[in-house]
Structure 1
Amino acid sequence: MRTALTLLFLLALGAMPGALLPQRSLNAPKVDDYIADHGWWGRLLDRMQFFDVYASFWFSAVYVLLFVSLVGCLLPRTWEYFRQMRAKPVLTPRNLSRMPHHASADTTATPQAVVERARRRLRGWRAVTAEEPGGVRTISAERGYLRETGNLVFHFSLLGLLVAFALGKMFGYEGQVIVQADGGQFCNSGVYNYDTFRPGLRVDGTQLNQFCVQVDDFEANYLHSGQAESFHADLRYQSGADLETDTWRPYPLQVNSPLRTAGDRVYLLGHGYTPLFTVTFPNGETRTGSTQWRPVNQVTLASEGATKFDPPNVPDAEQRRRAQLAITGLLAPTAVFRGELLDSAFPAANDPAVAIDVYRGDLGTDSGRGQSIFSIDPKMVQDGKLEKVARQNLKQGEELTLDDGTVIRFDGVRDWVSLQVSHDPTQVWVLVFAVLVILGLGVSLRIKRRRVWVRATPQEDGRTVVEVGGLARTDQAGYGEEFTGLARDLGVTGDLLAERDPRADKEES
């Protein structure tokens, strides 16, 4: 048990970096920023896996050792507990005056009557009577076996909790996706539908639970300070037989009120804005772009991003690449200008505006390299393949005309929502074991294991000397009052002896 407690302390100590340091599984860019800001110290922490605490070798080692230690601790304790449950209470010690609790008195009742009275008073205790030479009658009683039951329930539940967590990490998965709040849809049919996806160790992404969601609308309420008060997304979803019949069911999705369907949970994490741009090319054709931009200020939701366009009706691939457009810059939901600089004063879209840079040339989208949807490839700018052709601030409805006659109009903003899909097949077992941990701990702390002995010794004058001794096996707190009441009910009102060292009492017993 000492080893298990030490490992449990180390597990709690090892989890602290996971709470104090950014974790790569939750926010990889923040981890990169931390390493860049802290130099050799950040690189050392990275090599020691402090940014992947819960997947690190040292945290896993402590986890496994704790598991093994608990098993090694519980098996002998369980066997000993069953032996104690079958055993009878120990016989009455010869010298009850050495017990931590003791009282004695004489009575005119016979030893048999005293013992019978004690048996009635000790109903609910595990008791055994015995006879000693000279007509002496004794009774030994013990109570509080549920204390060890609660202790075992607590430790077995803790063991089950560890197993459930481990299985959840193996067979669970978690993914995030951004969905436009204007009828945008997401289907849990494959990992490529996600923006980020973290599979369990035994999940390959080919057998995900099938369901679809559609975000029809989104509403956010803010306090005067700009702090978000509530997020509400009008959702429709289908799973199971609804997929075959194309039946959609409504659900009001809110923060901390996930949609539970097909064994998965869909959470509303947050939201942002998508700027709407309409580009009218020199030949008169138009293209509308609606790519989400990411917030760079979580208070005002000022956002950055890039909306990219291909020119229409250009069959030659080389010529098409040289005429691609990218609109980058800053989006302010509630615009405020500090000179020529645009900023956002409030997170709601009360007066949206953008400060944009327009690039023309090869965006590098056909290069075969991965590219963020929130930015352009800086290498293409450095190589001169992508050139900035305009910079301007635009409010909703305003236009910008490029040197070749291309017109860019800012049409406003649209909401997008960030959804998280979580699958944990052991979550019910985690809840059950967590409840049992609390119940077992409560029982083990509340119930006291205690013993009481009664000896009735006949005297030559026909009277009977009654002695009562008591011992709390684990903790004497609270037993003195119970013992006093028990002795009083047995007619023993003699002075209680002062408490002694429990270790000496156990040796004597």
Structure 2
Amino acid sequence: MTSTTATHSRARRALAFARNTWRGLTSMRTALILLFLLALAAMPGALLPQRQLNAPKTREYIAQHGWWGELLDRLQFFDVYSSVWFSAIYLLLMVSLVGCLAPRSVEYLRSMRAEPVLTPRNLARLPHHRQVRLDASVDEVLAAANTRLRGWRSRERAEGEGVRSISAERGYLRETGNLLFHFGMLGLIVAFALGKMYFYEGQVIVHADGQTFCNAGIYNYDSFNPGLRVDGTELTPFCVRVNDFAAEYTSKGQPEQYRAAVEYQSGNDLETGTWRPYQLEVNDPLRTAGDRVYLLGHGYAPIFTVTFPDGSVRSQAIQWRPVDQSTLLSEGATKFEPPGITDPEQRRDRQLAVTGLFAPTKLMHGGVLSSASPELTDPGAAVDVMRGDLGLSSGRGQSIFEIDQSMVDSGRLERVARENLDPGEQIRLDDGTVVRFDGVKRWVSLQVSHDPTQLWVLGFAIAMFLGLGASLLVKRRRVWVRATPVTGEDGQRHTVVEIGGLARTDQAGYGEEFTRIADEIAGTERGNS
């Protein structure tokens, strides 16, 4: 018996603990605290580099900050939005909002279906009260009251001995707005969560000389960030062709406007081969097939032509990366495989790379190249020609903007020439290979973003705004009118009218409204008040 009693006692304590925990979690106070914590937890995502968006910068940050960077990495501060602690706050907030809104919604529906409350017995105890004696009959008084209270939820009741009253209430829109705001917040959170599951975002560099990019697979992107449920096999089909790029600058070299002349295909245009023109500008994306194409940046791709000793010619225009955004001084590496060599070892030993700096408007300081302006007026390049094993077949990934420094350190890749070149100039190597600087092309950086929940997010945000406005501007208030027939000393019939008012929430401003209501119901005649 004692064991059974102890078991029941532990079960009751566990049940009480679970019930109290649920009540605390589903309170509006807890929901607001969790919302604040969610905003606080999102701050590292804006202050620290995120691995999904920029993995190289994240690795650089960790390396520069030593043990502190490693600690932040272990705590998932570089993967904030997929971290355990951010997801926990997110889920708790959703549970709290659902648990809080469900009973409030039931209570709201009941209040909407319920009749206005009975007229209090003693209206004089209310914050707003008026009593007058009128010569009009009870029917006339109540008719005037019903006319004035048109648009209010009202109910007329008989109280006995000829006494009748009206109960009226207004301002249900306040609670409607309150619920709309919180449901909009819940919908916004759910939409963001679904967006993280089904969105994708990719960046690609396209030459502005008629080169085409098609959203046919992740292999077409330079970097691709998919949602949790996106595997890259069902991307929205469309193509973009970049025909030209124009940049406008001030006299001091500050950018004024970037514009890319593009053409695009989507839907039936892909089958018919129809291209539609569009002027792509910064913050003015191309919207097609549910995706958005943004113009992120631009730069230059020097054109190098290599003539090998056997007469074979290879020409490439590879984008170089700006190291100074104000002048577009750029660095990069253009890599060449020797043609006609079948032996893998010999082919690795004779690979070439042209590395260095490119300036759209060259400026020389003691033989050192820099750029005076981002405009393409007097281009020049300071290049190192590297020969040897570039490490392309090592299986390790490497940036298109630089060579593998480990190959240089090991002596397998050596510098065989260093020159400053203008367009048309060339370098002749000791084995007869000729490297010529032929000119430059422009490239643009495009970002493709797909978020199927974008319109839902907008809709829920508008709902939150409207709900917040209604909950702040609308006041919940009640009015009661009681008409009591009396006989005066002169034997004449009169009606004593009592009017009471109560604001269920904020009373500020209701006094003036109550005075107007009472004046219109009572007319201009003043009695014993």
Q: Which has the higher mean CA deviation after the structures are superposed, 12-21 or 98-107? A: 98-107
Deviation track 1:381-420 (CA, whole Å, cap 9, x = no partner) reads 1111111112222223332232333332222221111111
C-alpha distance in 2, partners of 1:223/1:69? 54
Which residue of 1 is the match for residue 20 of structure 2? none
Q: Secondary structure of the residue that 2:52 maps to in structure 1?
A: coil
Residue 235 of structure 2 corresponds to residue 204 of structure 1: no
Partner letter of residue 427 of structure 1? Q
Structure 2 spans left out of the alignment, 5+ residues: 1-27
1:151–1:386: structure 2 CA closer, same or farther, 3 Å change rule?
A: same
Q: Where does residue 141 of structure 1 map in the other structure?
A: 168
Q: Find the counterpart in structure 2 of residue 463 from structure 1.
A: 494
Q: 2:507 aligns with which of 476, 486, 490?
A: 476
Contact 2:53 2:225 in 1 (8 A): no
CA distance in 2, matches of 1:226, 1:20: 30
Compute the TM-score of the two structures, normalised by the length of structure 2: 0.89
1:426 is matched with 453
Pairing partner for 2:127 from 77, 87, 100: 100
Aligned to 1:65: 92
Contact 1:466 1:492 in 2 (8 A): no
Give the letter aligned to residue 504 of structure 2: R
Superposed displacement of residue 167, structure 1: 1.6
Is 1:183–2:206 an aligned residue pair? no
| Aligned with 1:405 (options 432, 437, 442) | 432
Instruction: Name the amino acid aligned to 2:139.
Output: Q
Q: What is the deviation of 1:144?
A: 0.9
8 Å contact from structure 2 (residues 351, 390) kept in 1:
yes
Q: Residue 302 of structure 1 contacts residue 332 of structure 1 at CA under 8 Å; is this kept in 2?
A: yes
CA contact (8 A) 2:291 2:450 kept: yes
Amino acid of the structure 1 residue aligned with 2:363: V
- Report the counterpart of residue 329 of structure 1 in structure 2: 356
Distance 2:88 2:209 in 1: 48
1:234-273 residue pairs with structure 2 within 5 A?
234-273=261-300
Match of 1:507 in 2: none
Please say if residues 104 and 492 of structure 1, whose CA atoms lie closer than 8 Å, have aligned partners that are also in contact: no
Which residue matches 1:500? Answer: none
Any gaps of 5 or more consecutive residues in structure 1?
Answer: 498-509
Which residue is 2:520 aligned to?
A: 489
Residue identity in the other structure for 1:472 = A
List aligned pairs for 1:56-455, cutoff 5 A.
56-455=83-482
Identify the match of residue 43 of structure 1 among 64, 67, 70: 70
Contact 1:291 1:307 (C-alpha < 8 Å) held by counterparts = yes
1:261 Cα shift? 2.3
Give distance in 1, aligned partners of 2:305 and 2:174. 73
**1:88 shift after superposition:** 0.8
C-alpha contact (below 8 Å) 2:261/2:279 kept by paired residues: yes
Partner of 1:504: none
The answer to whether the 8 Å contact 2:200/2:230 transfers is yes
CA RMSD of aligned residues (A): 2.0
User: Contact 2:35–2:93 (CA<8 Å) still a contact in 1?
Assistant: yes
Cα distance, 1:340 vs. partner? Answer: 2.1
Say which SS state the counterpart of residue 522 (structure 2) adopts.
coil
Q: CA deviation at 1:134?
A: 4.2
Q: CA deviation at 1:371?
A: 1.9
CA distance in 2, matches of 1:247, 1:133: 83
Q: What is the percentage of aligned positions where both structures have the same residue?
A: 68
Aligned to 2:341, what secondary structure does the other structure show?
A: coil
Letter paired with 2:110: R
Q: Which amino acid in structure 1 is aligned with residue 253 of structure 2?
A: G
Q: Aligned to 2:440, what secondary structure does the other structure show?
A: strand
C-alpha offsets along residues 155-192 of structure 1, whole Å, 9 cap, x if unaligned?
22222222222222112211111111111111111111
Quickly say closer, same or farther: Cα 1:315–1:159, change in 2 above 3 A: same
Give the whole-Å Cα distance in 1 for the aligned partners of 2:265 and 2:371. 38
Equivalent-residue separation in structure 1 for 2:80 and 2:467 (angstroms): 30
Provide the rounded CA distance (Å) in 2 between the counterparts of 1:172 and 1:123.
Answer: 51
1:25 counterpart (41, 45, 52): 52
Distance 2:342 2:58 in 1: 43
